[in-house]
Amino acid sequence: MQKIISSLLFLAFPLLLNAQQSVPNYDEAKVPVYTLPDPLVFRDGSAVTSKKDWEKRRGEIYQIFEKEVFGVVPSWKGSVKSTVVSGKANALGGLAKRKEVRLDLVNGNRKVSVMVLIYLPQKSENAPVFLSYNFNGNHTTTTEPDVLIPDSWVSNAKAYGATENRANERGRGGALSMWPIKEIVSQGFGVATVYYGDVDPDFNDGFKDGIFRLFDSPRDSTSWGSIAAWSWGLSRVMDYIETDKEIDAKKVIVMGHSRLGKTSLWAGASDQRFAMTISNNSGCGGAAISRRKFGETVGRINDSFPHWFCDNFKKYNTREELMPVDQHELIALIAPRPVYVASAAEDLWADPKGEFLSCVYASPVYELLGEKGLPSREMPALSKPLIGTIAYHIRPGKHDVTLYDWQCYMDFAKQYFKLKR
Ligand code: GTR
């Protein structure tokens, strides 16, 4: 009898795990006790005590994130060709100059085209530029009638009126509340945005679509997923920006919301040309500490989005405590460059406290490098940003990017780049 019960339990174990996973925990009292890997201790147990040590330790941590979380980017043998396809000297009622630049990523006879929509203040020489993906097409970020509609795959999200996975006029200006471009430009910043599906359509297509088509390497458990592909795409936009005389490539701020916040963090960690990194409500696999298992968990994210991370990441479904890294080390990889993490109070799925704690636990790395980490270890009140070289805020409301969020990012950037306020 005993035997039967234990074999039934054995059979039921995976189901129990799944059931456990399918009920997200929102109760702080049920957060497991956990020990985080220390970014300032080498894998062999020795201490990281100098900038030089950190460079080495940074390499260790980066490699773990590559092989166990986001996946390794294969070597790129292709080229990027840019063509300015439209320009407008007096966009947004004269506030901005606007252009659309097509980047053709080419490898032999294979090509993927990515459209970059750029708004710059009339005097753009010293303007920092926010580089940020959009979710549904460049035309959703503006009401200007002549901005091109993407011809790549888009999701049929109701709000944007796409049908048969193709965008159309109905989506124009649909994401305006997330893209206060007039406000941003009038405060002296530029905006460069790209529809993320131009780089890789966001569905599980076996890595046959988007820029994956440009690579030949066979796949294994360490191969890159879509987040790494989107991050790689941001670096290719950066390659272009370095050639654009109207933009100061030393002042590019990589910013993203939600899955694209995870992407901006990985881009900021992978490519040190990004001067500043912003994560808006990035949650699991972004800024939130995985070991807390609060809201979205590693198991949940891998089940819902099996194409976002490398296959090795699935080893940690329900076993986050075995991860050789946690997300505070993703923030630490950006050091000593400034990074801003933002949460929303009602966005429990993204675990605001876990996002905050990543900033706290990344701070010793910034401090070792002579920068200010997060100035407090206490979670701040709503709408009271904490500003060090790591910055953090939590605002009231839902999972979203609001004008308040943008205003905080602009204030942070004005301070860092010493612009007039
Ligand atoms: C959710 C996902 C989150 C977040 C979000 C988004 O469904 O669970 O990790 O990335 O999507 O990107 O909007």
Q: Is 301 in the pocket of ligand 1 (CB under 6 A)?
A: yes
Could you tell me if the CB of 296 is within 6 A of ligand 1? yes
Best mutation site among 305, 398, 401 for ligand 1 pocket (most ligand atoms within 8 Å of CB): 305
Report which ligand 1 atom has the smallest distance to the Cα of 304: 8
| Ligand 1 nearest atom to the CA of residue 399, by list position | 13
Q: Is 284 in the pocket of ligand 1 (CB under 6 A)?
A: yes
CB 324 within 8 A of CB 68: yes
Which ligand 1 atom is at minimum distance from the Cα of 300? 8
The rounded Å distance from CA 116 to ligand 1 centre is: 23
For ligand 1, is residue 68 a contact (CB within 6 Å)?
A: no
Amino acid 3: pLDDT = 43
Q: How far is CA 91 from the centre of its chain?
A: 28
| Ligand 1 centroid – CA 195 distance (Å) | 16
> Looking at the annotation, which residues are catalytic?
258, 399
Q: 283 CB less than 6 Å from ligand 1?
A: yes
DSSP result, 278-335: EEES--TTTTS-GGG--SS-HHHHHHH-TTSS-GGGGGGTT-GGG-S--THHHHHTTT
The residue assigned the tokens 């509340």 is 177
CB count in 10 Å sphere of residue 11 = 9
Q: How far is the CA of 258 from the centre of ligand 1 (A)?
A: 6
> Following DSSP, what letter does each residue of 179-225 receive, concatenated?
--HHHHHHTT-EEEEEEHHHHS-SS-STT-SGGGGG--PPP-TTB--
Q: How far is the CA of 350 from the centre of ligand 1 (A)?
A: 8
Residue nearest to atom 12 of ligand 1 (CA): 259
CA 296 to centroid of ligand 1, rounded, Å = 9
pLDDT in tens, the chain (421 residues): 444 444 444 444 444 445 455 799 999 999 999 999 999 999 999 999 999 999 999 999 999 999 999 999 999 999 999 999 999 999 999 999 999 999 999 999 999 999 999 999 998 888 999 999 999 999 999 999 999 999 999 999 888 999 999 999 999 999 999 999 999 999 999 999 999 999 999 999 999 999 999 999 899 999 999 999 999 999 999 999 999 999 999 999 999 999 999 999 999 999 999 999 999 999 999 999 999 999 999 999 999 999 999 999 999 999 999 999 999 999 999 999 999 999 999 999 999 999 999 999 999 999 999 999 999 999 999 999 999 999 999 999 999 999 999 999 999 999 999 997 6
DSSP 29: G
CA of 188 to the centre of ligand 1 (A): 31
Separation between Cα atoms, residue 156 and residue 93, nearest integer Å: 31
Whose CA is closest to atom 10 on ligand 1?
259
Q: Is 327 in the pocket of ligand 1 (CB under 6 A)?
A: no
Structure tokens at 332: 């630490």
Closest ligand 1 atom number to CA of residue 257: 12
Contact 369, 336 (CB under 8 A): yes
Residue 258 Cβ contacting ligand 1 at under 6 Å = yes
Task: Give the relative orientation of helices 51-64 and 352-368 as an angle to the nearest 10 degrees.
Answer: 140
149 lines ligand 1 (CB under 6 A): no
Is the bond leading into 336 cis (omega within 30 degrees of zero)?
yes
What residue type is 365 in one-letter code? Answer: V
Distance 259 CA to ligand 1 centre (A): 5
Write down the pTM of the prediction: 0.95
Is 114 close to ligand 1, i.e. is its CB under 6 Å away?
A: no
Instruction: Give all strands (DSSP E) within 32-154, no chain letters.
Output: 79-91, 96-107, 110-121, 129-134
Beta bridge mates, 72: 223
